[in-house]
Amino acid sequence: MSEQHDKFLKRLDGSRVAVFRVAEWLHSKGYTVTIPSISYAPDASKHMDYVDDGDIFINRPEDKSKLARIEVKHIDTDFDCRGNWPYKVMFVSNKDAVDRADPEPFFYIIVNKEMTHGGIIYFKTKDQWTVKTGKANNTGNIETNYAIDPDLVKFVDLRA
């Protein structure tokens, strides 16, 4: 196993805490929540065989008979509202992952460092997203991501 793949697996494993925190918040808002299990690729060459179908599923607010996919991203940034979001844009997710998502997510939620607040980015705003390419802080790899103006993000308190 490569060192980079090892680090990826550790980040993946560490992401579960944020997923369960968001799931708890959604549950407190009256949603029935499903969290699919995680499968781990034995090595990086097989990673596409282990791509998940979503972090969380809830019954869609407008049609309880259909499920809505929620994607959770935990970042190492402190924020609790638009007023103290420290960047010009908010990254949604890796462009390739967004483009191949099936079903498309209802929303992405970017969770702050302390897991007390999040920024909800509804998929329906995708036509307002931009594409940004740059070096990822967590891997050092050059990645292409979608980004959004923070004014279009709904900031929420995950403790409420």
pLDDT-derived band of residue 145, with 50, 70 and 90 as boundaries?
Answer: very high
Q: What average pLDDT does the segment 37-52 reach?
A: 55
Q: What average pLDDT does the segment 126-143 reach?
A: 88
Q: Which pTM value belongs to this model?
A: 0.84
pLDDT over 50 (residue 116):
yes
DSSP secondary structure of 76-104: S---SSGGG--SSSEEEEEHHHHHH-SSP
Give the pLDDT score at 107.
97
- Max mean pLDDT among 33-47, 58-72, 79-93 falls in 79-93
Tell me the residue type at 24.
Answer: E
Mean pLDDT of the chain: 85
pLDDT-derived band of residue 141, with 50, 70 and 90 as boundaries?
Answer: confident
CATH for the stretch 3-157: 3.40.1350
pLDDT over 70 (residue 131):
yes
Q: Where are the domains of the chain?
A: 3-157
Calculate the CA dihedral of residues 124, 78, 26, 122 and round it to 10 degrees.
0
Task: Strand 90-94: give its sheet, edge to edge.
Answer: 90-94, 142-148, 130-135
Q: What average pLDDT does the segment 122-128 reach?
A: 98
Give the pLDDT score at 135.
85
> Cα 63 to the chain's mean position, in Å?
23
Give the pLDDT score at 37.
80
Whole-number CA gyration radius for the chain: 15
